[in-house]
Amino acid sequence: MKKKNKIQKESKFVKGDPRGVFFDLFDADEAAELTMRAKLLLGLQGWLASSGFTQTAAAKELGLTQARVSDIKRGNIDSFSLDLLVRLAERAGLHPTLRLAA
């Protein structure tokens, strides 16, 4: 009789907070702000990609410098406050809204 060697693979995946990785890494208040900033930044990146604007044209549209548009494109979240990202999203026609959980 032949003995079979079985290699068992164990999943070492640890489930994090369902609200996102920021809630695994930061206090809840800071994680909430980072989550909102990230969603707004992703929306602006999508707008940039689909708009067909050059960075210079997008800068004019948003009222920024080309270097700041480059920060958006590169996802440099630390360069933008929540209130600025809300204003930029509105200028881009994204009409940001806020919904609170009960």
Q: Please give the tally of structural domains in the chain.
A: 1
Per-residue pLDDT tens over the stretch 53-91 = 999 999 999 999 999 999 999 999 999 999 999 999 999
1 within some domain: no
On whether the CB atoms of residues 51 and 44 are closer than 8 A, the answer is: no
38 within some domain: yes
Closest residue by Cα to residue 82 from 20, 26, 30, 45: 30
For the entire predicted model, the pTM comes to: 0.81
Residue 52, domain CATH? 1.10.260.40
pLDDT of residue 72: 98
2 within some domain: no
Domain of residue 55, residue span:
27-91
85 within some domain: yes
**Pairwise CA distance, residues 88 & 75, whole Å:** 14
